[in-house]
Structure 1
Amino acid sequence: MPLFGRNKNESAFVNGKKHLTDVIKNTGRGELLIWRQPEEDFNTHSTLVVMPGEEAIFIKSGTIEQVFDNGTYHLSTENYPFISRLRNAMSGGVSSFNCVVYFVRKADSEEILWGSQSPIQVRDKVWGIRTSARVRGSYKVRIVNPAIFLEKLIGNNVPFQKQAELTKYFANEFQGKIKSTISIFLNGLTQELIGLDAYLEDLSTQVAPKIDEVFASYGLTCVTFALAGLDIDTTKYDAIDESQIGAIAKGKLAQGDKAVMGILGEDWGKQQAANILTNLSNNSGAGGVAAMGAGIGMGVASGGVVGDMSKQMMSPLSTAAESKEPAKPAAPADQPDDMAVLAKLKKMLAASLITQEQYDAKVAEVLDRM
């Protein structure tokens, strides 16, 4: 190696070597939060140019000498070209008077997206079901203390830091703060957990200070924090909706039937009773005693007019039968009303108070004395 060996870091300078004075300015990409300028160990009285929206951290011999706001500055580094090379020869080409510059983005970061890594367990107090929620959103940060940000988050050997990479550092703290706040809010609700988008802004306001607490010790501040979505698992709600829709449909059908009865009124009952008795009298094999009892019971329930109708329709049948059979003795004055007995028997059968056999026997007994 030559006596006045060139520092290997000189390759980053214009034309691959240091000059008596160099101009140091940010060459990093715009989406970076911090960028370590490649030119190192530049000579004394080199010019530092800091553009609006950024700050520069000047590090000399491992110590932060100064943080520069936007403007133009002349740096003192004790690195004179020939003397520094002589010193470098003694240290294998590595400068004993090391100096570097970090450029830090001063403007707000771009929007950084985030989302909950695991679901938040919550119980719906209206329906009494357990479900889960996931949240997502975005935030923006600003570096308010570049020196602390460099020392605590980056370190000397990291050449740059992208904005989106912040989530790697703060993921666990973020998730813990966000999940605890959202969980307390959701479990405190007395309404169902569907349609909570109206609370997103309020929740964002509650979470933002907790996120800012995490950032503060790293020289950052949370400029904006926003919840973009609060997604509830609706699997169990779908089953509830289907059940409610079925109940509503049945209720509407029942209301429709009631409305029809209200419109047709007593005329409908009379018509149904007449049809039942006519069919039974014309068709002796239509179901026997049980069928006739069921038909008469329906007539009673339909309008309470079967008694009059049956008397009117049965009287011709009785007159015709008098020529063939001797007249039966008249029922005693305290004999119960046969139609009322039949109706009562029908209700008892429907309520399972008597068996079908008992019902048929009693109906036959009543019909025999009619």
Structure 2
Amino acid sequence: MTNSRISKARWTVAVAGLALAGVVGATVPAAAAAPPAVTAVAAQHGHVDPVALRAALAGLPDDYVRGAMIRVTGREGRWTGTAGEWTRPAEAPFAIGSITKLFTSTVALQLVGEGRLALDDTVQELLPGLLPASYEPITVGQLLSHTSGLQKPECVRPGTPVEVVTSAVSCGTPTAPGKTVQYNGINYFIAGLVVEKVTGRSYAEEVHDRVLRPLGLRHTSLPADDWAWAEGGMVSTAPELTRFMNALMRGRLLRPAEQKLLFTTPSVPDASFSYGGLTRTRLPNNGPLVWGKTGTNRGYTSGVFATPDLRRVLVYSMLPTGKNGDEEFKRIMRMAQAAFKG
């Protein structure tokens, strides 16, 4: 796989993650009259390039993306802008999709740090009967890093988390755990169930008490009506995702040993996800190394990425039309390269 194809895979793999065989009902935000040009909501330029950021949003709406929002922060400056049919405030809540997985992995690693869970614990030990008896043991670490070998969820149906997992493994055949990377949202449904089994409390309670409340994330939540749950059901805002990413990467949420796991990928070919659920990618044209996560749900395609030193943090969200995934990816890369330019 070429470098460009690797970058594309790593930035877009989570976009398809929530689809889970196409059964998630996306509630597309209502169209609105598009503003005539890119709107810079807030700016403090520093080393951030406002010209490049405006250019990355220019031309919206088009056939592939109706509108978008970018928020760039960090010690090198900040810039926030919107374009096209993104007519809501830049700080308004939106469905973050698979970015939810970072909240799930954070709670799981906290439990590891407390000695209540280990990456080598198996699903079969923790949740007996959830997976077919013929399956090889799958570890918590393999769930978090997408190396479980679980088959693509072509038969998945909405329901309770247990029903989702059961339906997902009702057809197809898994591969050997720990051998390859295969992005699969079912891994994080199971991780959420592990959190509940270990703590004896609901996943939503654990995320709230361990992450949302300590960080003051008052506009980040897990809606009760979104069955994507620990895999992709949360709602947040650009400022709060920025705050979460800063806290996560600075070690405010994890103990030192687990903080190291946040940036550790398993020893498998083309490993792209860490034990903390972060994906690592090098931007094209000698761009910087960044860590983060993408997600899609309810008509939004979003991402949060940062340089390891938090020199720059990017949160973006856009309203794709669904007509052409390659064109959506090109727009995402334009936004990412503009955000991390310089």
TM-score range, shorter chain: under 0.3
Flag the structure with larger Rg: 1
TM-score normalised by the chain length of structure 1: 0.16
Richer in strand (by share): 1
Larger relative contact order (C-alpha < 8 A, sep ≥ 6)? Answer: 2
